[in-house]
Structure 1
Amino acid sequence: MHFKFVHAADLHLDTPFRGIAAHGPLLTRFQESTFRALARIVDLCLRERVTFLLLAGDLFEVKDRSVRARLVLRRELERLHVAGIEAFIVHGNHDPLSGDTGTLGLPSSVKVFGPDWEEAEVRREGRRLCRVQGISYPDVEVREDLSSRFRRTGEGFSVGLLHANLGGAEGHANYAPCTPAGLGARGLDYWALGHVHTRGELMLPGGGLAVYPGNPQGRHVLETGERGCVLVEVEDGGTRRRFVPVDTVRWHRVEVPLTGVATLDGLMGTLSEAVDAACAQELDGHAVRVVLTGRGPLHRELARPGALSQLEEGLRAKLAAGHPPVLLESLRDSSRPELDWDALTAEGGFARTLLEEARALEEDPGALTRLWEEEALGSLGQKLKRLGVDVLETPRKEWVSRASLLGVEALHEEDGA
C-alpha cells in the first residue's frame, strides 16, 4: 500500500512581528510570511498529490484568533478540498478549543479533533489506507500526558496527531508532556507532533517514529535557518521523509571577526559581505543578528559611547536597501581588545601578578576550593540562595582564567582611556 501525506505544525498564523526595526514593504513581508508559508504547504500538497495534510496544533498565534487568520485558513483548506485532499487538525496551547467562536465553518474534508481522543480512517476506493488519531487542547494549559489515551486499534498504518513536549524539550512550556517509552508503548507507526519549533526525528522503542517538523516560518532571531514541513511517503508500512522548506522570510545569526579589520569603512564592507553570503537565497526577505567577535584594533573605537549604535544605524539602512531586503535585528559587540599577552607578562606590574595568581589557582584545585570557601564568597552564596538564585557548589577553574583575562583587559582599557 502506497500513499503520501504532509506533516506541518505551529503555523502561528498572523504573528504580528511587533518590535522589529522594519517599516513599509519590508514590514509587510514579515507580517504576511506566516500566511505565505501556509500557502506553500498547500502548494506542496497539491504538487505531490498527497492523500492528506496533518496540522499538529498552534495554527493560530493567539487564543482569540483574528478573523483574517481564520479566513486565510479556510481559503487554503478549501483549495485542498477541491483537490480531494483531506486535512486533520489538532489544536494546541496557542489556539485551544476554548478560543474557537464557531463562526467560521470548514470544508467537510477537514477533521478537527475535539478534547477527547478520537480515531478517523482515511479510505480510498473502499479500502482503508490509514488510521489517524488525535486530541486537541480544551484550554491553554494541559499538564496531562495526552499520549496515554492513544492506542493501536487494528492492523494498518496508524498515525498519532498530537501537540506535546516529548522528553521535556527545553525552551518550550511542558504541556502534554510525554516520553519516548510512553509513545512507543502505544504501538503507533508515526507520531505527528507539534509544539517544539526545532525540526527533529526520534526512533521509538518498538519501531515507531516521532517527528517534529518545526515551525514553517521563523518568527524571531532564535528561530534561524530553513523552516518548513515534512513530506512523508508510506509504502508497505515503512516511511520515507523529506523536509521541505516553505519559509518566505529567514532569520540568521552572523558572526563577524574583527581580526585584521583596521578601518570603519573596511568593517562596513566586511559586515555587508558576511550578511550577503548568509542571505544569498532568493526569498521575500531575510533578518539577521550580527555579532562582532575576535580581537582587533577596532574594538576600542567601537567601545566609545554611541559608536556601536551609529554603526548599527548605517548598516541597517544599507541592508534594507538591498535585494532581497535584509532586516538587521541588532548589531552586537562580543569582540575583545587586541592585547600582546607576552609583552604584558614581560612588563611585570599588576597585570603580570594577576595572570600568575590565576594560573596558580588553576593548577591547585585545593587553593581554588579554599578561595571559594572564604567567608566573603561563602556569605555571598548563601544570600543568593535565599533570593532563589541557583549557586553552583563547586568552583570551576575556567572561571578563574576568564576573570583574570577580563581583569587585564579592563586595566588595558583604563590605561588607554
Structure 2
Amino acid sequence: MAFRFVHTADIHLDSPLRSLSLRNPELAELIGDATRQALVRIVDLCLEERVDALIIAGDLYDGDQTSMKTARFLATQMQRLHEANINVFKIRGNHDALSRITQELVLPPSVKVFSGRAESVELNAGNHTVVIHGLSFAKPQAPESLLPKYKPAVSGAINIGIMHTSLAGAPGHDLYAPCSVGELHASGFHYWALGHIHQRTHHAGERTVIMPGMPQGRDINEAGEKSVTLVTVQDDGSLTIEERLTSIAQFSRIDVDVSGLTEWTDLAEHISSTLERERTRTLSSHLVA
C-alpha cells in the first residue's frame, strides 16, 4: 500500500495581501482572505486524494498574531483532517516562533508539532516503515545549520525530513538555518520537505529535495501560480511527485507593447485584449495584474 502526503509551507495565515492595488475596497474584500482560502484548498486536496498526512514545513502563521479568529479557523481545518484520519506534521519556522497562537492554540491529537529538539515519528505504512523527522525553530533567529541536530536516517525505512531553511541564501530572504543542497542529498533521507523560500524549487539529485514555495502570493513580488506538492511513496520505495495549484489570487506583471499605436481607442483596445489573453492563461481563480 502506497504512503501519500501533501507538503506545503509558508502559508502565513491571515497575512494581509500587501499590494497597493488592494487599497481598492472591492478588491480587498474579494481576495483579502486568500491565505485562508488557500489552506481550505490544501485540506480539500488532502481529503480528495485520501492522503495519509499533511506536512507543513514552517511559517503557518504570520508573526506575532493574537487573533482568536485565526485560531478558531485553523482548529476547524485541522479537525476536518483529524476526522478523516489524516495526520498533520508541522514544524515552527521563524514567523511561527513569534506567534502567540503557537503557544496557546489547542489542536487535535492527530497534529504533531515538532519541538525545538530533534524528534522522529515512526509510522507503519503497509510495506514500509515511514519515519518523519522534524525540528522547530525555538527562536525567531537560527543563524547556524540545524542539519547536524537531526536524528540519523533509520535503516530500512523511508525517511522524510522537515526543515525550515534558507539553504545557502536567496534574494529577499534573511539567512536562516543555512545548509547546502548537497548536504541534504547526502543525509540518507529519501525526501526533504523544506520551507522558508517563497519560490518553488525542486533540487534534483540523489534524493528528493523540494521547496514548495508558498500556496498563496501576497503581493506583486510573490507573483505567479502557487502550489503544494503531492507525494506518493510507491510500494517499491520510489517517489512520485505532483505539483497541485492552490493560489486563489495570482499576481502578475503584464507587459503591453504599444509601439506603433497612435489612437487612444486602439491603445485601450490593445491593453484590454492583452489583459483578456493573460486572464485566459491564468489558472488561479483571480488575476491581480
Alignment TM-score, normalising by the size of structure 2: 0.92
The alignment status of 1:186 with 2:187, answered yes or no, reads: yes
Matches of 1:242 and 1:6, distance apart in 2: 9
The structure showing larger relative contact order (alpha-carbon pairs under 8 Å, at least 6 residues apart) is 2
Give CA deviations for 1:287-309 in whole Å, capped at 9, x if unaligned.
11xxxxxxxxxxxxxxxxxxxxx
Q: Give the Å deviation of 1:97.
A: 6.5
Give CA deviations for 1:228-273 in whole Å, capped at 9, x if unaligned.
1000111122111110001111111111112121122221221111
Q: Which amino acid in the other structure matches residue 57 of structure 1?
A: G
Q: SS in structure 2 opposite 1:12? A: coil
RMSD: 1.9
Q: Which residue of 2 aligns with 1:131?
A: 131
Q: Which residue of 2 aligns with 1:227?
A: 226
Q: Which amino acid in the other structure matches residue 84 of structure 2?
A: A
Matches of 2:148 and 2:132, distance apart in 1: 15
Q: Which residue of 2 aligns with 1:105?
A: 106
Q: Which residue of 2 aligns with 1:273?
A: 273
Q: Which amino acid in the other structure matches residue 202 of structure 2?
A: E
Q: Which residue of 1 aligns with 2:246?
A: 246
Larger radius of gyration between Structure 1 and Structure 2: 1
Q: Which residue of 2 aligns with 1:51?
A: 52
The alignment status of 1:40 with 2:41, answered yes or no, reads: yes
Q: Which residue of 2 aligns with 1:69?
A: 70
Q: Which residue of 2 aligns with 1:208?
A: 207
Matches of 1:192 and 1:141, distance apart in 2: 20
Q: Which residue of 2 aligns with 1:379?
A: none
Unaligned runs of 5+ in 1: 289-417
Q: Which amino acid in the other structure matches residue 250 of structure 1?
A: Q
Q: Which amino acid in the other structure matches residue 154 of structure 1?
A: S
Contact kept in structure 2, 1:29 and 1:249, CA below 8 Å: no
Q: SS in structure 2 opposite 1:162? A: strand
Contact kept in structure 1, 2:120 and 2:134, CA below 8 Å: yes
Q: Which residue of 2 aligns with 1:339?
A: none
Q: How does 1:162-181 map to 2 (within 5 A)?
A: 162-181=163-182
Contact kept in structure 2, 1:57 and 1:195, CA below 8 Å: yes
Q: How does 1:374-393 map to 2 (within 5 A)?
A: none
Q: SS in structure 2 opposite 1:121? A: strand
Q: Give the Å deviation of 1:167.
A: 2.7
- Alignment length (residue pairs): 285
Unaligned runs of 5+ in 2: none
Contact kept in structure 2, 1:160 and 1:191, CA below 8 Å: yes
Structure 2 CA distance for partners of 1:40 and 1:101, relative to 1, 3 Å: closer
Q: Which residue of 2 aligns with 1:27?
A: 28
Matches of 2:82 and 2:26, distance apart in 1: 32
Matches of 2:214 and 2:66, distance apart in 1: 18
The alignment status of 1:261 with 2:261, answered yes or no, reads: yes
Matches of 1:228 and 1:98, distance apart in 2: 24
Report which of the two has the higher share of helix: 1
Q: Which amino acid in the other structure matches residue 227 of structure 2?
A: G
Matches of 1:130 and 1:63, distance apart in 2: 34
Structure 2 CA distance for partners of 1:10 and 1:129, relative to 1, 3 Å: same
Q: Which amino acid in the other structure matches residue 238 of structure 1?
A: S
Structure 2 CA distance for partners of 1:253 and 1:121, relative to 1, 3 Å: same
Contact kept in structure 2, 1:97 and 1:138, CA below 8 Å: no
Structure 1 range deviating more: 64-73 or 221-230? 64-73
Q: Give the Å deviation of 1:173.
A: 1.1
Contact kept in structure 1, 2:230 and 2:242, CA below 8 Å: yes
Q: Which residue of 1 aligns with 2:199?
A: 198
Q: Which residue of 1 aligns with 2:11?
A: 11
Contact kept in structure 2, 1:29 and 1:285, CA below 8 Å: no
Contact kept in structure 2, 1:189 and 1:208, CA below 8 Å: yes
Structure 2 CA distance for partners of 1:158 and 1:228, relative to 1, 3 Å: same
